[in-house]
Amino acid sequence: MLISKNLQENTENIKAIFKDCDDIVYRNIEIGKERIKALIIFVDGLVDKIVISEFAIESLLNSEDLKNNMENIRANIAEKASTQHLAIHDVKEEEDLNKVVDAILFGETVLLIDGADKALIMSTRAWPARGVQEPQTETVVKGPRDGFTETIRFNTALVRRRIRDPRLKVKTLRVGRRSKTDVVIMYIEDIVNEKLLQEVYKRIESIDIDAVGESTALEFLIEGNYLSPFPQAESTERPDAVAASILEGRVAILVDNTPFVILVPSTIGTIFQSTEDYYTKWPMASIVRSVRFFAAFLTVLSPALYIAVTSFHPGLIPSVLAFYVAASRINVPFPAVVESFLMELTIELLRESGTRMAGPIGSTIGIVGGIIIGQASVEAGIVSPLKIIILAVTTISFFAIPNYEWALSLRVIRFIFMILAAIFGLYGVMLGIVTLMVHFAKLESFGIPFTAPFSGLGLKDGDLKDTLAKAPLQKLAFRPKFTFPKDKRRYRRR
């Protein structure tokens, strides 16, 4: 539906659409000597009222030019007002009523002038927003501490600051019928692979849903394999991580109302990378990387291995250890399986209650609960001490994995392995590992095989140098191959 030239008609239409919306403000003014009627509409709370008052209303009301004017004001009043009288930094014309309504809901201010068939949309967005703070989920010891906020424009700015290249492109899409959430795709034009970009567009544009609340919802909608327990994209709160990823040829997807930005594609190598690695010297960083893989291994398999070795194959551990373990378990009433399940479920409970309570209470519950439960169960003779150690190892390794979503998925898998170990011992554990490996081999993240660094792109292309270890920057002259970038070199020695 179009804007009509008649202000009265427009006003009635808009007021009908916004019936029962008491936070919409309607400001009538008259412009110029001829007293042309005009209406300013905005949402109270989404706009910067000072800008409207001083730069829109005042300019129009006090304009000498308009006051003293002459003929043909009415003719192109809209255009004149916009180009000559509105001292606002961004003004657009719009003739579609629905788009005007959208604009109002986005925090723009709309100026309707009697006799003009276009509405003027002034950019006045301002709403209560958090300032830039240190990201809570990914802290580093030595590195920048700015994190994304909920306002998408601030976020794009934070990335722009780090890549001052006009080839860094920022494309906006809107997702969600009712939420009309701003989704921004950022990439570097001459690095990113065309097909990857098209795949991203295709997937986002094919979403038809009422609302996209924040980035994880979007992430799960555009994933290729939604049944898999493993996420196929990453998200981060850190602008430096996003900038680095874009420079590697990945695509960043920013979503309004959330500080978490989605990065695609993701591979098993990127899951284990953390920004901290790039701020540490390479020997330490390499060891830490390998430790992380080991931690993932431990968090999934420790309880299962405990069950398998104690219940099925005590021949595998040295005799002295076997005897000690047997001695420590003499009066324990439960078999190793039941013990493991009990303890692991208890730890999950603890973790969940720790998350509920924020701040110091949460961490205290964690520590106190852990100590009490561990100590007390051993003393009560319900659980063997070895199990508590295994439990501690599992939980601590969980926190060593940089990607939180992944760590959670691995925790879930842990229980499946425990069941397998309980039935088939080590053979069951291997069956599980084999199935998991095939699952990873099948998994693709936006067309890139998930296991890319390990399964086919070879040693030379820099992927393994930055996955299992962390080679110094001088050795990573080429971008990683898993993104199939167009411009391959990123570091040149002079």
Partner 1 sequence: MHKKNTISNNQIKNLLITSVIGVGILSLPSNMASILDNDGWLAILVGGLLIVPLIFMVDRLFKMFPNKDIFQIGEEVLGRILFTILLIVIIIYTILTLAYAIRVFGEVIKGYLLDRTPIKVIIITMLLAACYLARAEIEVLGRMATMVYPILIGLIIFLVLLSIAEGDFTNILPVFNADFTLLPKGILISLFSYAGYEIILLAYTTSDNKKDALKYTLRGLFIVIGIYVITFFSTLSQLGVNQLKRRIWPTIAIANEVDLPGYFIENLDGIVLTLWVLIVYTTLGPILYTGGRALAYIFNTRSHDIFILPLIPLIYIVSIIPDNIISVYENMGIILGYMVIISAMAIPILIYLVALIKKRRRKA
Partner 2 sequence: MKRFFFIIFLLPLLVGCWDKVEIEQRLFVTAIGIDLNHEKGEEKDKLTVTYQYPNISAIGKNAESGTSTFLLTANSSSVFQAGRQFMSRVPFPFHYKHLKVIILGEDILKEESLMRVVLDELNRDTKINKRVRILATDRTAKEILEAILGKEQRTEGTIYATVRDNTKTSSFTSKSLADLITDFDISGVTLVPKVSLDEEKNFVISGGAILKDYKFLDWLDANENKIINLINGNMVVDTIDVIYEGNLISYAITETTTNRNIKFNETITANIDITIEGYLQGYILDDKNTVSDNETVLSMEKTLEEEIMKVTRRTLGHLKDVKADLLGIGEHLSKFHPREWEKIEDQWDEVFADAKININVDVKMSRTGLTR
Instruction: Write out the residues near partner 1 by the rule CB under 8 A.
Output: 193-196, 312-313, 315-319, 424-427, 429-431, 433-435, 437-442, 447-449, 451, 454-458, 484
278 or 427: whose CB is closer to partner 2? 427
Residue from 68, 72, 319, 474 binding partner 2 (CB under 8 A): 319
Residue from 143, 144, 224, 314 binding partner 2 (CB under 8 A): 314
42 or 312: whose CB is closer to partner 1? 312
Shortest distance, position 37 Cβ to partner 1, whole Å: 58
- Give the C-alpha separation, 407 to 319, whole Å: 34
464 in contact with partner 2 (CB under 8 A): no
311 binds, among partner 2, partner 1, none (CB under 5 to 8 A by kind): partner 2
195 binds, among partner 1, partner 2, none (CB under 5 to 8 A by kind): partner 1
21 in contact with partner 2 (CB under 8 A): no
Q: Which stretch binds partner 2 (CB under 8 A): 157-165, 213-221, 229-237, 324-332?
A: 324-332
* Total residues interacting with partner 2, rule: CB under 8 A: 25
Shortest distance, position 193 Cβ to partner 1, whole Å: 5
387 in contact with partner 2 (CB under 8 A): no
129 or 326: whose CB is closer to partner 2? 326
Shortest distance, position 436 Cβ to partner 1, whole Å: 10
337 binds, among partner 2, partner 1, none (CB under 5 to 8 A by kind): partner 2
459 in contact with partner 2 (CB under 8 A): no
The residues that touch partner 2, with contacts defined as CB under 8 A, are: 310-312, 314-315, 319-320, 322-330, 332, 335-337, 419, 422-425
